[in-house]
């Protein structure tokens, strides 16, 4: 089970890089299936490079388990503090996807454009680190900042981070990867719809709720993305 | 004849994936040339993966012919109900092309920007599933929803689906693939023209009608697209 | 000399396809260096496919020289009629580049954004075929329509064609290819500048005139584009 | 040390080409680590082609050291005059990145959208060559024009050049490459944020200052970009 998840996590790193959700920065983690107070995450490395041997186990203080000396991601507290308060969350992506930055800095909220991104209808709050913590270098460098981000996120599937990027959460690796990819598609489509200048009808919260009851979310896409990075 | 059409259908799946009309989702079908009450469509699979052995035959109730147990596309009723009421239609694409979603959600109608997409001048209605059927999960899950979509489509070459995507129809596989690809180009060009802020002169209905009398539509492009996926 | 030009013409076809100036449609020609009343152009074929053996010689009536039976491009009159009235022109591109269609349909004129597209400052008129010839299928199907287009073009380096695309002319193959590619870049940049909503300072006609006195225009780029298609 | 820098400079040329910061034009230089009045720069060549043997050494008059007869870049004075007045600058990129041209021609200033482009918060002035020197062909052809550009740049990390492109400076090759790439991402994100039509909160100057104290800027990205061009 753990072995399978770590394999999936490595694949997720490659997919997120190939689909331009992350560039050299950003990271993806998965909760330990048997020790819910632990999670797996690469040491500090560009996602495109991540291999099995790069995955470390962390506790909810953001400390690596064991005596591995490789540098962890500075912002691992994004993961630890969300896992702490969201028992439903089993996988997390932190990214700086180009299409999300405009919404992260704007007061125009992300809205759900279509069924593939129905989860957006639950709401995507914006975390402004200055409101939470005053003057910073914009990075989630410690547990206190991680807690503030987790509080902004609340029970939502994703949060934007002003001047920074986004965090996306879900119940599995394929689901968090799918949400990250379709959040990107949705943001571009919404920006384009706004530019058309007409009246926009977004996906309703009631429609989205029905759509999200599909537990097989993104599985067909996962198979395709996986094949692309296997080549 | 049937063998040739199935080969074309497999190629169409690959082309639509390669040209970004579909991603892991979306599908393309062709009417049975000898049994017009039947049509060919893959079982539920990402179009990029579709091979000859994946193609199933369906009747107009959306039931697979024979005892094949592979899962069909949930939304096969898009195809069955359009074939039922449009004898002129011999091939259908259902897609969620990113450029079409903004128009599917907006009250700004698609208009024909150039001769390659002259068919757009016939009009591309928007199907709002809520108007037709109240609260749904946005998917065309049964024959009743398929009938409602077919009614919205009417005699037009394509319809947008609010919060979802589009359906494109034509008299042959190369034609429906060409229409799907150029609908994408046209949508992007129209969005860009609107953003310029000036007065736009769209292709006239009369000009489009003359242009569409060319029965050899998209054949040169089909050869190019085919070669690209053969590599 | 003729052999070298035909080699260049084949390379130009490949470059225009690779750089997305043309898709399956569009064409590029060169004037015969020794018989200025003749020009070279492929028979009707997607530019990506064009090889030496596909190049035909045409006269200014748009007739193939010799008894070659392969189908010529329907719109070869774009070339013949421009060569007839523009002795300075030695190479012509006809294209439907996606970025140009919005400007072809809009009353917002193309303007020069930077030194690489300085020629735009000479002006890029819009040819509306309906003004010239009433109701058509938008194609330049005969010499009369070619003459009308050539008249719209006048002494300019390029003209847009409403509901259709563009024609670009220059004194050599590398120059017409460079102009076509940078016209695309320029159109995208201008659209983006307009969307910013501020005051735009375009390249002045006087600056452009000085810049265009460089006779070595685009030679470094030609070497790069050539290498890319050689792979 | 010199050998290592020249290797880095060759890699930087390849990266800038691969990441679409430069096309056939644009150049990158590095200051001589032992002779600060000298710098290294390729002779006139598309960056994608640059190899070790193409790198020449120049003095601050823009003269090649030694008797190499290969044609230098016409605009080498961009480099020489900035090195002259900015002792902190050790690497310079001159580019015509498509996303920057709209801002170079607009009176809408570039602003910092996110932490990866925090340096933008220091300000990116626009150099208008006409204000500095009257009518020109827009190129920085001599030392006087280079001095005028360096004056516009002042102590900033980058300057836009009206009707032309940009110059980006930094303390190292990886840093100047990173700034060039993220300036592109930032410009696209800012244009998109403006198009959303809402209120935008840019990265504050105070936040950017803290962020920029990180001396390891872009090192993880450099490793990724380097691997991509090594393939």
Percentage of the residues of chain B whose pLDDT score is greater than 70: 99
Q: How far is C194 from chain B (nearest CA, A)?
A: 6
CB contact under 8 A, D44 and C220: yes
Answer whether residue D130 shows pLDDT above 70: yes
B114 → chain C, closest CA residue = C163
pLDDT of residue B164: 98
Answer whether residue A19 shows pLDDT above 80: yes
Q: First-to-last CA distance in chain C?
A: 25
Q: How far is D224 from chain A (nearest CA, A)?
A: 6
pLDDT of residue B45: 97
* B136 touches B145 (CB < 8 A): yes
C175 touches chain B (CB under 8 A): no
B8 a catalytic residue: no
pLDDT of residue C217: 79
Which DSSP letter does residue A19 get? T
CB-CB neighbors (< 8 A) of C114 in chain D: 96, 101, 104-105, 138, 163-165
User: Angle at the Cα of D203 (from D199 to D209), degrees rounded to 5?
Assistant: 160
D138 touches chain C (CB under 8 A): yes
Q: Which range (A122-131, A136-145, A216-225) has the least confidence?
A: A216-225
Taking CA atoms, D99 is separated from D77, D118, D124, in Å, by: 24, 18, 14
Sequence-ordered alpha helix ranges (H) in C20-153: 77-85, 101-105, 129-133, 143-153
Sequence-ordered alpha helix ranges (H) in C45-204: 77-85, 101-105, 129-133, 143-153, 173-196
- Per-residue pLDDT of A41-92, as tens digits, reads 999 999 999 999 999 999 999 999 998 999 999 999 999 999 999 999 999 9
CB-CB neighbors (< 8 A) of C112 in chain D: 163
- pLDDT band at residue D73 under the 50/70/90 scheme: very high
- pLDDT band at residue D186 under the 50/70/90 scheme: very high
D132 touches chain C (CB under 8 A): no
D194 → chain C, closest CA residue = C196
Residue C190: CB atoms within 10 A of its CB come to 28
CB-CB neighbors (< 8 A) of C217 in chain D: none
Taking CA atoms, A199 is separated from A194, B112, C75, in Å, by: 8, 20, 41
B115 touches chain C (CB under 8 A): yes
- pLDDT band at residue D231 under the 50/70/90 scheme: confident
Q: How far apart are CA D83 and CA D88, in angstroms?
A: 8
Q: Which one from A75, A81, A122, A207 is the annotated catalytic residue?
A: A75
pLDDT of residue D215: 63
D128 touches chain A (CB under 8 A): no
CB contact under 8 A, C163 and B199: no
Q: How far is D161 from chain A (nearest CA, A)?
A: 24
* C73 touches C10 (CB < 8 A): no
Answer whether residue B141 shows pLDDT above 70: yes
- Provide mean pLDDT across the span D135-144: 97
Answer whether residue B231 shows pLDDT above 80: no
Chains touching D (at least 3 CB pairs under 8 A) are A, C
Closest CA to B192 of B95, B99, B96, B97: B99
B101 touches chain A (CB under 8 A): yes
Percentage of the residues of chain A whose pLDDT score is greater than 70: 99
Element (H, E) at A214: none
B200 touches chain A (CB under 8 A): no
pLDDT of residue C215: 63
- pLDDT band at residue B1 under the 50/70/90 scheme: confident
C119 touches chain B (CB under 8 A): no
D193 touches chain A (CB under 8 A): yes
D42 phi and psi angles, rounded to 5 deg: -65, 160
C224 touches chain D (CB under 8 A): yes
CB pairs under 8 A between A and B: 104
CB contact under 8 A, A192 and B102: yes
> How is the beta sheet containing D126-127 ordered, strand by strand?
D55-59, D38-42, D27-31, D91-95, D165-170, D158-161, D126-127
pLDDT of residue A215: 63
- Residue of D46, D136, D139 with shortest CB distance to C224: D46
Q: How far apart are CA B119 and CA C130, in angstroms?
A: 18
- Per-residue pLDDT of D7-41, as tens digits, reads 999 999 999 999 999 999 999 999 999 999 999 99
Q: How far is A49 from chain B (nearest CA, A)?
A: 25
- Per-residue pLDDT of A138-180, as tens digits, reads 999 999 999 999 999 999 999 999 999 999 999 999 999 999 9
CB-CB neighbors (< 8 A) of A203 in chain B: 138, 163
- Residue of B196, B207, B224 with shortest CB distance to C106: B196
Taking CA atoms, D74 is separated from B69, B175, D63, in Å, by: 69, 51, 11
CB contact under 8 A, D191 and C196: yes
Q: How far apart are CA B127 and CA B166, in angstroms?
A: 9
Q: How far is C134 from chain D (nearest CA, A)?
A: 37
- Per-residue pLDDT of B40-71, as tens digits, reads 999 999 999 999 999 999 999 999 999 899 99
CA dihedral D153, D156, D160, D161 (to 10 degrees): 10
D165 touches chain C (CB under 8 A): yes
Q: Which one from D3, D19, D61, D75 is the annotated catalytic residue?
A: D75
CB-CB neighbors (< 8 A) of C211 in chain D: 137-139
Residues near B186 by beta carbon (within 8 Å), at least 6 away in sequence:
B110, B112, B113, B114, B116, B117, B120
B47 → chain A, closest CA residue = A224
Sequence-ordered alpha helix ranges (H) in chain A: 2-18, 77-85, 101-105, 129-133, 143-153, 173-196, 205-212, 219-230
Answer whether residue B81 shows pLDDT above 80: yes
B20 touches chain C (CB under 8 A): no
Q: How far is A116 from chain B (nearest CA, A)?
A: 8
C144 touches chain B (CB under 8 A): no
pLDDT of residue D1: 86
pLDDT of residue C231: 77
- Residue of C48, C98, C107 with shortest CB distance to B185: C98
* C116 touches C49 (CB < 8 A): no
- pLDDT band at residue D48 under the 50/70/90 scheme: very high
- Residue of B192, B193, B207 with shortest CB distance to C138: B207
CB contact under 8 A, A104 and D118: no
CB-CB neighbors (< 8 A) of D199 in chain A: 106-107
- Residue of A113, A220, A221 with shortest CB distance to B105: A113
Pairing of strands D165-170, D158-161: antiparallel
How much is the mean pLDDT over chain C? 97
B112 touches chain C (CB under 8 A): yes
Q: First-to-last CA distance in chain A?
A: 25
CB-CB neighbors (< 8 A) of A101 in chain D: 113-114, 189, 192-193
CB contact under 8 A, D136 and C221: no
- Residue of C196, C210, C211 with shortest CB distance to D102: C196
Q: How far apart are CA A94 and CA D217, in angstroms?
A: 19
* Its pTM surpasses 0.90: yes
Residue D182 in tokens: 């993220």
- pLDDT band at residue C213 under the 50/70/90 scheme: confident
CB-CB neighbors (< 8 A) of B189 in chain C: 98, 101-102, 105
Q: How far apart are CA C108 and CA C99, in angstroms?
A: 13
pLDDT of residue D217: 79
Chains touching A (at least 3 CB pairs under 8 A) are B, D
Answer whether residue A213 shows pLDDT above 90: no
B162 touches chain A (CB under 8 A): yes
């Amino acid at each position: 089970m753990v072995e399978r998840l770590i394999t999936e996590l490595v694949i997720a790193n490659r997919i997120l890089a190939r689909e331009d959700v992350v560039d050299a920065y950003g990271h993806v983690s998965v909760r330990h299936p048997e020790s819910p107070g632990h999670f797996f995450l690469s040491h500090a490395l560009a996602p495109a490079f991540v291999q099995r041997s790069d995955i470390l186990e962390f506790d909810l203080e953001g400390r690596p388990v064991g005596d591995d000396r490789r540098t962890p991601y500075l912002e691992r507290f994004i993961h630890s503090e969300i896992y702490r308060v969201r028992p439903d969350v089993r996988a997390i992506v932190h990214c700086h996807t180009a299409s999300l930055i405009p919404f992260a800095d704007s007061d125009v909220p992300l809205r759900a454009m279509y069924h593939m991104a129905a989860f957006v209808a639950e709401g995507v709050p914006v975390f402004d680190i200055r409101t939470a913590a005053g003057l910073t270098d914009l990075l989630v460098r410690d547990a206190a900042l991680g807690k503030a981000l987790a509080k902004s996120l609340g029970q939502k599937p994703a949060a934007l981070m002003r001047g920074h990027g986004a965090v996306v959460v879900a119940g599995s690796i394929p689901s968090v990867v799918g949400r990250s990819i379709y959040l990107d598609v949705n943001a571009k489509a919404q920006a384009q719809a706004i530019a058309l200048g007409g009246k926009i009808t977004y996906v309703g919260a009631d429609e989205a709720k029905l759509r999200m009851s599909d537990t097989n979310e993104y599985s067909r896409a996962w198979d395709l993305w996986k094949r692309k990075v296997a080549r």
